[in-house]
């Protein structure tokens, strides 16, 4: 198993599991909550087939990475990403962040800049620019929604995740057509195996303000979002990014749920590959 050490907690080494496949310009895929790098299955195949080096990794606390008790705020998560890029000697890369992973892309670029390591960015169903509703961010989501999620996780995490994933994929509408019961179960298996503390702490991190990070981005940026996203509403996120990021392109996927990288993989891949080729 391929691992990169990013720190230590007491006697435990914090290692991130990663995959480094294919040849060509690198594309780094950063997964969403509560899944792992395995969620990029449909994108990995398409990217390798079109001549790209594809790097995926499991965020700390998720997938096959170590499950420490700390480090689930975006300063540390962006630092983890930076250590991966340095360790793998990555340059001229495209960072692709899905959902929570969009936060890593934004904070990484805000903190480290491109440094020639990163030349393009893609935000898919991302929580950016600022998901939490505040006095100066009335377009955000009310904080009670986040508190309800945390209460549900604390009460019965496996049961909460089962219901959450149905909305993640809009299973009541797309089930049996674009998403099977087996994929839903597979996603639950990944989610329930994650660290309970990581799963809970990351919800708090969703309230991070990325507006300054996004404003600093000067590289070409693609935004892809499902118009029927129930988890991360498009009006509160993707539609606001173009006003902050210079020359950002927005691709709206009609009928796309939050988990559109599976349900609408063909459309997502088409937009992604076109952007990479430009």
Q: What is the pLDDT of residue 247?
A: 84
Q: Block means of pLDDT (10 residues each) for the chain, length 278 residues?
A: 96 98 98 98 98 98 98 98 98 98 98 92 98 96 96 98 98 97 98 98 98 97 98 96 93 98 98 97
Q: What is the pLDDT of residue 116?
A: 87
* Residue that is written with structure tokens 């962040």 in the block: 97
Q: What is the pLDDT of residue 1?
A: 77
**CATH hierarchy code of domain 3-277:** 3.40.50.1820
pTM of the model: 0.98
By annotation, the residues acting in catalysis are 99, 229, 258
Q: What is the pLDDT of residue 114?
A: 84
Q: What is the pLDDT of residue 106?
A: 98
């Amino acid at each position: 198993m391929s691992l990169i050490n990013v720190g230590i907690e007491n006697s435990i080494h914090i290692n991130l599991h990663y995959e480094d496949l294919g040849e060509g310009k690198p594309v780094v895929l950063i997964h969403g909550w509560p899944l792992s790098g395995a969620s990029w299955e449909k994108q990995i195949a398409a990217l390798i087939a079109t001549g790209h080096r594809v790097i995926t990794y499991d965020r700390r606390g998720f997938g096959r990475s170590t499950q420490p008790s700390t480090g689930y705020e975006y300063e540390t998560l962006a630092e983890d990403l930076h250590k991966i890029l340095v360790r793998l000697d990555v340059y001229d890369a495209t960072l692709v962040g899905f959902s929570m992973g969009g936060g890593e892309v934004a904070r990484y670029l805000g903190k480290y800049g491109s440094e020639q390591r990163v030349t393009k960015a893609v935000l898919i169903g991302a929580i950016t620019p600022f998901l939490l509703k505040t006095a100066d961010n009335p377009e955000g989501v009310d904080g009670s929604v986040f508190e309800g999620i945390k209460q549900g996780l604390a009460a019965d995490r496996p049961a909460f995740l089962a219901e959450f994933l149905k909305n993640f994929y809009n299973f009541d509408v797309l089930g049996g057509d674009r998403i099977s019961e087996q994929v839903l179960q597979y996603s639950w298996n990944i989610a329930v195996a994650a660290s309970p503390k990581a799963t809970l702490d990351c919800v708090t991190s969703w309230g991070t303000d990325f507006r300054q990070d996004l404003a600093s981005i000067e590289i070409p940026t693609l935004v892809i979002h499902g118009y029927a996203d129930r988890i991360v509403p498009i009006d509160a996120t993707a539609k606001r990014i173009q006003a902050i990021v210079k020359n950002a392109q927005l691709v709206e996927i009609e009928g796309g749920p939050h988990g559109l990288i599976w349900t609408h993989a063909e459309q997502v891949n088409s937009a992604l590959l076109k952007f990479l080729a430009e």
